[in-house]
Amino acid sequence: MRILCADIGGTSIKLGIVTGDGKIFDFTEVATEGKKGGARVMENLISGLLAFEGYDAIGISTAGQVDRENGSIIYANENIPGYTGTKVKDILEKRFRKPVEVENDVNCAALGEGWLGAGKGLSDYLCLTYGTGIGGAIILGGKLYRGTGGSAGEFGHMILHPGGRECSCGKKGCYEAYASARLLVEMAMEKDPSVTSGRELFARISYGDEKMAEVLDEWSEEASTGLASLVHIFNPQALILGGGILEQDTAAAALEKKARDLIMDSFQNVRFMKANLGNKAGLYGAATLHLK
């Protein structure tokens, strides 16, 4: 089976044909232009899809809360104004005359990791991605747990500091307001304004910069607190952690060590793993919507 897949992200729409044996052909990217609104995103998506031929079905991974039954967008934030309510499945099925399935991008990434990545062979795991915010997905008994509205796994909005820092969701004290990759860089900049990126931060640590090592330590303290709670709630086989900073061995090791200090003995068999499909996870996940 050949599935034409698209992964609609903040800045680009990734496209490619994914085969039933897990290969990607003709990978390409087009601009999302999310700020120009949902209608423009759909135009860009359609013109991207039109460049392909020779496929059996279409799988879409997209930002926003997705109604899996009818393939429409229940809710999307201000990154794509007017995207809420878009009937993605209907529009594409009418245009392309092929079966179309649509799922949220974080969920797709988790499904992709389960098919061909770090989650291969596992039945119970949690995925967390540390970026501007913290995205999450839950796989239980080999299946994606979606919740009633398809939004389960919003780990970034566990409130760990009541009345604390303002979060992008409008509430205060959420996990992602303390433990996102963005916050790590902000903390570093506060201590030393000459540090402007995560890459710079890790370079300084490797040269023995103690101030920056302290920043990483403070961040892992926050990040580990959320992870330990999740391990106690779900008792998963593994945590699959993604995002640029987790590719840094220093960050991954610091986080695991601090989290293990907080995790009860009977839960210590949990494995800390790195997501390993990178920016292709969403495309692979979108293909699985037709493969199962």
Q: Are 94 and 87 in contact (CB under 8 A)?
A: no
Q: Are 84 and 38 in contact (CB under 8 A)?
A: yes
Minimum CB separation from Zn ion for residue 77, in Å?
A: 12
List the alpha helices (DSSP H) in the chain: 38-49, 88-96, 105-116, 176-179, 181-191, 198-206, 210-234, 249-262, 281-291
Between 143 and 171, CB nearer to Zn ion: 171
Q: How far apart are CA 64 and CA 91, in angstroms?
A: 17
Between 171 and 199, CB nearer to Zn ion: 171
Between 100 and 134, CB nearer to Zn ion: 134
Minimum CB separation from Zn ion for residue 78, in Å?
A: 15
Minimum CB separation from Zn ion for residue 222, in Å?
A: 14
Between 64 and 114, CB nearer to Zn ion: 64
How crowded is residue 149: how many other Cβ atoms within 10 Å of its Cβ?
Answer: 11
Of the CA atoms within 13 Å of residue 105, those in its CB half-sphere come to 18
Minimum CB separation from Zn ion for residue 286, in Å?
A: 27
Minimum CB separation from Zn ion for residue 44, in Å?
A: 29
Between 167 and 263, CB nearer to Zn ion: 167
Give residues 153-192 in contact with Zn ion (rule: CB under 5 A): 157, 167, 169, 171, 174
β-bridge partners, 17: 4, 25
Helices and strands in the chain: count of H runs, count of E runs: 9, 12
Minimum CB separation from Zn ion for residue 159, in Å?
A: 8
Q: Using alpha carbons, select from 94, 93, 110 the residue that is nearest to residue 102.
A: 93
DSSP run (H or E) holding 279 = none
Between 94 and 171, CB nearer to Zn ion: 171
State the angle between helix axes of 181-191 and 198-206 in degrees (0 to 180), rounded to the nearest 10. Answer: 60
Between 91 and 169, CB nearer to Zn ion: 169
Minimum CB separation from Zn ion for residue 134, in Å?
A: 9
122 scored as a contact of Zn ion (CB under 5 A): no
Stretch that binds Zn ion, among 56-64, 83-91, 151-159, 242-250 (CB under 5 A): 151-159
- φ, ψ of residue 71 in degrees (nearest 5): 65, 35
- Token reading at 30: 């087009």
User: Interface with Zn ion by CB under 5 A: which residues?
Assistant: 157, 167, 169, 171, 174
